[in-house]
Homo-oligomer: A and B are copies of this chain.
Amino acid sequence: MTAVDAPTLLAEVEQRIAQLAAPTGPHPVQAAAARAAAGGKLLRPRLVMAAAGRSADRDAVVAVAAAIELLHAALLVHDDVIDGDEERRGEPSVAREARDLAAEAGLAPARAERLGLAAAIVTGDALLVRAIASLGSLDAPSALRSRVLGIVTRAMVRAAEGEHDDVLLAGATPDHAAIDRILEGKTADYSFRAPLELGAVLGGRDDAAIAALGDIGLRMGVVYQLRDDVLGVFGDEAITGKSTLSDIRAGAPTLLSALASRDPAWASVASHYGDPGADEGAAARVRHVMRGSGALDEVERRIADGGDEVRALLVAAPVEQSVRDELLQILARCVERGR
């Protein structure tokens, strides 16, 4: 595997994802699963590929990269249910599509709503099962396979905890330790740490290198999530494709909101943060306090510092220069990205 054929490899990963999610029957749940699996940015597969390096078994890398993206798709389907989000990747969410189809077919609103809930939960379940089962069918030595499954299980349990805490602490002003747990739990482990560890394991790296890449992944993931939190409130909707109202309406427990809430001016906007009916005017006032309190600057500083930290760790990491280069590129996109 060389860096040169990375696009080819990525195309293979996409093909494998489509295969794993392909309907085996005509049921609408299967069609929904196939749609939910398509169209991701393949960030996680890229991380697996980067950490695996050029000497890893190509088939194993494709299989694991595809599985990790499919897991991500499953979590997104469930996340949309939990957050009540109606759109995903510019399309209706699974729950909304099922609900709308049911309503068109004549079901009463409450029944159509329940069908949307059911459809999204079972579609996510079907994707989860297929993703993990594909890892279990990995054609690899038993010790390697168990290690892969162990990493994925840990990351998924962590993601479950992070998702729970994200809802539990919505609208609250969590302390620093809780913020760290959310940042690391919800995204950083399964989206960065686990993919880098998986790639490292597939690349046959030693335990020190696996641990180093895992640590780098966790820190990259935190930077990514901090950037995501900023874009969620201050981003350009035309570029991010996401509403800059939804985090405010949900009262997302972010570092941004936690820092801003320590400013006396927060009292004047606290009731908007976590108010499902918050409008653009309310959001503008929240943003004003987030800026004026210095919270935005502080988060930007932590993003920059976190990026520097990762760069320093990468330089010292026991991996090839090509791996460093690829991860630096991905890091740059995480830190500087506009979407």
Chain A residues within 8 Å of B, Cβ to Cβ: 24-25, 27-30, 74-75, 78, 81-82, 84, 102, 107, 111, 114-115, 117-119, 121-126, 128-130, 132-133, 135-139, 142, 145-146, 149-150, 152-154, 156-157, 159-161, 163-164, 166-168, 170-171, 274
Contact = CB atoms under 8 A, between A and B. Distances in A.
B121 A78 contact: yes
Nearest to A251: B111
B157 A129 contact: yes
A132 B149 CA distance: 9
Contacts of A122: 78, 159-161, 163-164
Nearest to A172: B107
B126 A156 contact: yes
A153 B167 contact: no
A27 to B, nearest CB: 4
Nearest to A181: B27
A159 B78 CA distance: 17
A153 B125 contact: no
A153 B84 CA distance: 28
B129 A136 contact: no
B125 A168 contact: no
Nearest to A106: B172
B27 A163 contact: no
Contact of A28 (B118, B159, B164): B164
A325 B271 CA distance: 66
A75 B102 CA distance: 23
Contacts of A135: 133, 136
Query: How many copies altogether?
Result: 2
Nearest to A108: B171
Contact of A125 (B114, B145, B156): B156
Given A111-B171, A117-B81, A168-B102, A153 B133 contact: yes
A159 B30 CA distance: 12
Contacts of A128: 125, 128-129, 132
Nearest to A20: B153
Contact of A164 (B24, B27, B274): B27
A154 B28 contact: no
Contacts of A124: 121, 125
Contacts of A117: 81-82
Contact of A130 (B111, B153, B167): B153
Contact of A29 (B107, B121, B150, B161): B161
Most buried by B among A111, A114, A164: A164
A127 to B, nearest CB: 10
A137 B167 CA distance: 33
